[in-house]
Structure 1
Amino acid sequence: MTRPGNRPPSASEQKLAASLAGAVDLSGLKKRAEAKRDPATAARGTGPGSGPVTLVEVDEATFEQEVLVRSTQVPVVVELMSRRAPTVLTTLLSSLAEEAGGQWVHAVVDVDAAPGIAQAFQARAVPTVVAVAAGRPLADFEGEQPEDALRQWIAAVLQATEGKLSGTPGAESGGEPEEVADTERDAAEDALA
């Protein structure tokens, strides 16, 4: 490598460059390992020196852990989006999740990189947003929404899950989380009966 003035690097600069060669940031792997050991701690962000988890990027390999398992602790608002057509919704949901301080988690899925997830949610358009609680879809909408409407929608999701997930306020400690009411499923079961 040539430097300005064609001065060769000093011995200490060569040593530093050699020690950093191939260096990789492994903090993401550490966070994933901690989440697998204790999803409740990861969802609430009560691990040593960490704040609450408010945003996760999800792909097909991490979907089960980051969405299904985490949704037994707190609601997970899954945003199906495309990086080819970014929207303001991603930024707005991220800031609302951060403002909520871990009461719910914003999970971002790029449908171009993870088409199987979009197919599983039967998404017809992007962006599509789905609230997941106790491993099941609870509510959803398509397209951009104004901030006030988003706040109301999230408040309704939090109200529907209050005390039913082990990481939400009012939840009873221990035991299995209660099943979240699914009004559409209940109506369908009533119709079949």
Structure 2
Amino acid sequence: MSLPNTSGIVDLGALAPQQPQQQAATGATVGEGWIVDAGEQHLQELMERSRTVPVVLDLWATWCQPCKQLGPILEKLTRSYGGRMQLAKIDVDANPQLMQAFQVQSVPTVFVLIGGQPFQLFQGAHPESQLRALFDEMFSIAAQQGVTGTLPPDASAGQPDEVAAEPEVPPLHQEGIDAIDRGDLDAAHAAFTKALKEAPADAEAKLALAQVELMQRCGKLSDPQAIIAAAGDSSAPAGGIDTQLQAADIEFAGGAIDDALTRLLNVVRQSSGDDKEAARVRLVTFFDLLAGDPRVSGYRRQLAAALY
């Protein structure tokens, strides 16, 4: 596997010339911390730093539920590498020009700068084991380009062998998280199911279980591209209900949130009986997974209109 170079797509030139003036005006730089909050005004600084260490850009939003899952994993991995990379967290709502320059269609989306060049790493949330493998490849590519530096120790980030103080995770939740990290989705499903049985009002366990079930469904699909092709465009779905549900899962898991919601909404409008109910249930599940996303209220209104 190789990292796709996006230097011909990402319009960094439209932003980079503005950086010195913006930084001078604000007096702000992100510095050499292992984990930093960054914005459009810091792009030139980050590009320069990427000639020393890979700079991973986490493009996220406050309303994005998958972002809340991914962020702590990225921070944990960054600490574990002991200064071999920098993680720059960028709120896309506060930095619309940067979002446009990187042509971000959904969040979370993660890029890396290596030697001043952007590479897209992935979209959506992924387990720690997959991300560690991807970062290992990233370091290999960086080394080929002579980017092998190390940032100074960062007291705020902690040293690699330190464990950051975090809220205590309920045992069954931790069991489920550990199972996801090792790729055992059945064990994760069992752990979160048990947590819900013991505490039916456990919102975090309910959300985690829905996420695991999405991962399980997607993991059983042998040819996602063929399924999307058979399902047709989200604005004009074609094929049976199973194909539509599978296509929506693929789109949602891949970060194409609006496509997934639009597809299911149109299935609700066009179908009846069990098919209509299946699409409605899946749509509501996605709403739960998107808790806090401002788009949900609009789709809920459309769903209510389609049902009544």
Bigger RCO (CA 8 Å, 6+ sep): 1
CA contact (8 A) 1:78 1:109 kept: yes
**2:107 is aligned with 1:126:** yes
Matching residue's letter, 1:32 = T
**2:51 is aligned with 1:72:** yes
Cα distance in structure 2, aligned partners of 1:150 and 1:167: 19
Q: What's the offset of the Cα at 1:87? A: 1.6
Matching residue's letter, 2:54 = P
Which of 49, 54, 72 in structure 2 is aligned with 1:91? Answer: 72
Which of 48, 51, 59 in structure 1 is aligned with 2:39? Answer: 59
Q: What's the offset of the Cα at 1:30? A: 8.9
Q: What's the offset of the Cα at 1:167? A: 4.4
1:14-37 Cα distance to aligned partner (Å, 9 max, x none): xxxxxxxxxxxxxxx99839x5xx
Cα distance in structure 1, aligned partners of 2:107 and 2:28: 29
- Identify unmatched segments of 5+ residues in structure 1: 1-28, 36-41, 43-52, 170-193
CA contact (8 A) 2:40 2:97 kept: yes
Matching residue's letter, 1:63 = L
Q: Name the TM-score, length of structure 2 as normaliser.
A: 0.37
**2:29 is aligned with 1:32:** yes
Higher fraction of strand: 1
1:58-95 Cα distance to aligned partner (Å, 9 max, x none): 11112221x21111110011010001224211111011
SS of residue matched to 1:140: strand
- Identify unmatched segments of 5+ residues in structure 2: 1-25, 151-308
1:110-153 Cα distance to aligned partner (Å, 9 max, x none): 00000111111111110000111011112421100111110011
CA contact (8 A) 2:142 2:148 kept: no
* Percent identity of equivalent pairs: 29
CA contact (8 A) 1:72 1:135 kept: yes
Which residues in structure 2 correspond to 1:13-52 (within 5 Å)? Answer: 32=29, 35=31, 42=32
Cα distance in structure 1, aligned partners of 2:58 and 2:130: 16
CA shift in 2, pair 1:59/1:125, >3 Å: same
SS of residue matched to 1:62: helix
Higher fraction of helix: 2
CA shift in 2, pair 1:63/1:148, >3 Å: same
Q: Aligned residue pairs: how many?
A: 123
